[in-house]
Amino acid sequence: MTTEVGDEEFYITSCTYLPPRVNSDTPWCTINGMLPTNALPMLEMQICIIFLATFLLHAILGRLRFPRFASMCIVGLIFATSFTEEWARKSRELFFFDSQASLGMLSVFGYMLFLFYTGVKTDVSVIPRTKSSAATIGCATILAPFICSMTVVNLYSTKYLDSDQIAKVRLIIGVFSVTPFPNICTVLSDLKILNSELGRLSQSAALVTELFNVVFTSILSISKILSSDPEKAWFRLIVLILFLLMLIFVYRPAMFWIIKQTPEGSPVSDHYVYFILIMVFVASYITHRIGFLALFGPFALGMATPEGPPLGTAVIKKIDTFVNWMFMPLFVTTCVMRVNLRDFMKWRDEVTGGIDQFMLQALIIIAVTSTVKFVVCMLLPLYHNVPLSDSVSLSLVMNCKGVVELAGFSIIRDLMGMPDNVLALVIMSIILTATVGPFLLAYLYDPMKKYAGNYTKRNIFDLKNNSELRVLTCIHRPDNIPPTINLLEATFPTKDNPLCIYALQLIELIGRAAPVFISHQLQSKKTHDSNASMADKLIDAFQNFEHEFKDALVVNTFTSISPTELMYDDICTLALNKYTSLIVLPFHKKWSSDGNSIEIEDESLRELNFRVMRRAPCSVGILIERMQMTHIFSPETPYTVCMLFIGGKDDREALYFAKRMTKNPHVRLTVVRFLARNKYSEVTDLQELLDTEILNDIRINGKVGETNVNYIEKIVKDGPETALVIRKLVKEYDLIIVGRQAGIETPQTSGLLQWSEYPELGVLGDLLASTDAAGKATVFVMQQQRRDTDA
């Protein structure tokens, strides 16, 4: 486009042009004359300025919950708009016309990689498994606005527009009717609700609309080929079919062969990854030569590449940083640089002086399409008994626009032409929905509200006698399995006190666009996923455990593949839905087999534990395993357990969990109570009264039921003395159980809190985990269910 500034013309282009003619000799981006000698330095300067501008602007606006896409668009508007003559002159010097060809070509190259990247992360196998409600929403989301808007065009807009303008308005309808899957994933990921209930429903519906979009676009492209050159049309169509068949029957099996050649736990060879990236360029060239958009080939190739680890993950890791942090800011910014805000204000026809009918009809169509889409997306969930706030949130998600629509209008502008003011209108509409939608979503939708346990007590302390204990165990690595089973086996499930275990394998989402939640009880046959071997180990271990306690133990296994920062939602949701009383989390550190050195320290796992403890709808325990070994329960090898008791609800929860272990004939329980020297034999408040009451049977009788329990009282004056006593006491135990009591300092722990390294473990838990105080013993730190009604 051209924007007049004084006596000069300022050209703002973005080379997203893709040749409509197969035999065209025109390159993708043309240059007026020879490139200047400083072309490469200028290109490097332009990339740096765009990158820094988008990065800095997002660092500022991100604090106000602006999406990153909006920051990129604003940078493009700033560079393109002629605020003053001086600003326009500086912009011309930075983005002079001849340099824009190279910049545009690079940005299109980035968008091509983005489409391949999106295809690799998309799991199309979930479409046949999509629930009917999501499929209905997906179909209605694209069909209803499309039909209504087409009706408005045929009955009203045709009176004011010519045939060429009508064709472009219909393309606007098509672009605004679809809900591209990449846009939805980006919005949900930015808001950190990717694996929430709303997120899963939105992605399922978007996948259905994406299928519609691909089929519809393919039909249009084929019909265009057939009408433009009938003599060669069938040849091109046959070549396209052969290309797709080759992807399905040659390329995809070859990818699975690569996966089979990769040893379990090892990364895919870089040679295979580079071969796949070369195939991206080949696929782009093939589809360009047969008359399709050159972007179609990379997307189809990505869809044919198996998602997830090891292959999909390896490919994504290679290109993720370049695609998301370098090429996408370039592409979005250069696309938006076509728009001058002054054009957006041109609502008058320059010839007649009246209202510009093309712009007015485009605005009406955008309004009708967006309104119908919003209403349909809201009414359908309401029909399926979804709350109003969640229905409105779903409508906002499905109406969000992004980079796909931006690319669509750039291509339409290059292939068919579009007036500057109409292009400004559609681009500003995209930016508006991409900015306002996430803003409203952040305030409307709260995925945490379902975890609020104001009135429901889900903990071990309030569990009725002879009732089933339901436990959710989280497994990140195979070495988490033995200590978890040891802990649960110590509780000794019986027919009178049954145990129900929900074992959840947690895998980081890399190489996929959408999170996956698998119930292994519902699988009709074994999957061929690369994570299956880990799942098999989990299932086998817990099935053997279940067979050991027939009729007293039930095990259900699940796998969650989601971003690490969002795993807490899967954990808490499963605990909420299954009415569990306890969640068992592994500690973020892994010690060597001899327990003397640290092999792994995963800070993302530590943050996950924090989030679960803050939001869990039940009690939570963190399991710290120093020695990688499995205990064999027998009279010859008793399992010695020590429960350290200071006082408070977390300690009472830990004591009740320890009491359940007394039913195991091979467990020897010792309870150590620490009393403050200046408060010895005094009961000053309700909490201390509760502590004394639940310890009475152990303190007076030395028993829990009919089982003998060793009870020890230690009078201490401060924290250092407590630490010294603990070091002497706990060396000979296999398991040490403590309450968390986070942030609470008592006379027995005074002086220790300020030295705490792991606040998630509380004072005593931190003492046992961060030092060698526990020796080689396993440590289990418990936190009782947190409720809003707690004081």
Residue 245 domain-assigned? yes
> Looking at 385, 407, 442, which one is the last position of a domain?
442
**CATH, residue 658:** 3.40.50.12370
Q: Which domain holds residue 402?
A: 53-442
**Token digits of residue 285:** 């060239």
One DSSP character per residue, 641-704 reads EEEEE--SHHHHHHHHHHHHGGGSTTEEEEEEEEEEGGGTT---SHHHHHHHHHHHHHHHHSEE
**3-class DSSP string for 675-693:** EEHHHCCCCCCHHHHHHHH
Residue 120 domain-assigned? yes
Is the domain of 247 the same as that of 368?
A: yes
Give the residue carrying structure tokens 């896409």.
69
CA atoms of 188 and 398, how far apart (whole Å): 11
- Tell me the sheet residues that pair with 598: 591
Residue 14 domain-assigned? no
Q: How many CA atoms lie within 13 A of 293 on its CB side?
A: 24
Give the residue carrying structure tokens 């730190």.
781
Residue 680 domain-assigned? yes
Taking each helix axis from N to C end, the angle separating 197-228 and 181-190, rounded to the nearest 10 degrees, works out to 150
Is the domain of 478 the same as that of 431?
A: no
Instruction: Provide the number of structural domains found in the chain.
Output: 2
Is the domain of 630 the same as that of 771?
A: yes
Is the domain of 485 the same as that of 437?
A: no
Residue 215 domain-assigned? yes
Is the domain of 195 the same as that of 340?
A: yes
| CB neighbour class for 435 (10 Å; exposed up to 12, middle 13-18, buried from 19) | buried
Residue 404 domain-assigned? yes
Is the domain of 124 the same as that of 188?
A: yes
Task: Please choose, from the candidates 499, 334, 312, the residue with its C-alpha nearest in 3D space to the C-alpha of residue 403.
Answer: 334
The pLDDT value given to residue 528: 45
Is the domain of 359 the same as that of 414?
A: yes
CA atoms of 9 and 283, how far apart (whole Å): 38
CA atoms of 549 and 528, how far apart (whole Å): 31
The pLDDT value given to residue 583: 93
Is the domain of 288 the same as that of 366?
A: yes
DSSP category for residue 731: G
Give the residue carrying structure tokens 């279940």.
546
The pLDDT value given to residue 98: 60
At 713, which amino acid appears?
E
Q: Is the dihedral of CA 210, 216, 219, 220 positive or negative?
A: negative
**3-class DSSP string for 233-290:** HHHHHHHHHHHHHHHHHHHHHHHHHHHHHCCCCCCCCHHHHHHHHHHHHHHHHHHHHC
CA atoms of 148 and 254, how far apart (whole Å): 45
Residue 564 domain-assigned? yes
Torsion angle, alpha carbons of 538, 539, 542, 544, to 10: -120
What three-state secondary structure class fits 408?
helix
Residue 88 domain-assigned? yes
The pLDDT value given to residue 737: 92
Contact 765, 737 (CB under 8 A): no
Torsion angle, alpha carbons of 425, 431, 437, 440, to 10: -100
**CATH, residue 112:** 1.20.1530.20
One DSSP character per residue, 154-173 reads HHTGGGT--HHHHHHHHHHH
DSSP category for residue 355: B
pLDDT tens-digit series, residues 480-504: 888 899 899 888 888 888 889 999 9
Is the domain of 425 the same as that of 501?
A: no
> Looking at 396, 424, 442, which one is the last position of a domain?
442
Give the residue carrying structure tokens 């295809």.
119
Is the domain of 539 the same as that of 434?
A: no
What three-state secondary structure class fits 38?
coil
Is the domain of 546 the same as that of 611?
A: yes
pLDDT tens-digit series, residues 669-701: 989 888 887 655 555 567 777 777 888 878 877
CA atoms of 654 and 651, how far apart (whole Å): 5
The pLDDT value given to residue 464: 79
Is the domain of 666 the same as that of 759?
A: yes
Positions in the chain short of pLDDT 70: 1-39, 82-83, 93, 96-100, 124-131, 221-222, 224-231, 264-265, 350-351, 448-456, 511-514, 521-533, 593-596, 628-636, 678-685, 742-743, 771-775, 787-791
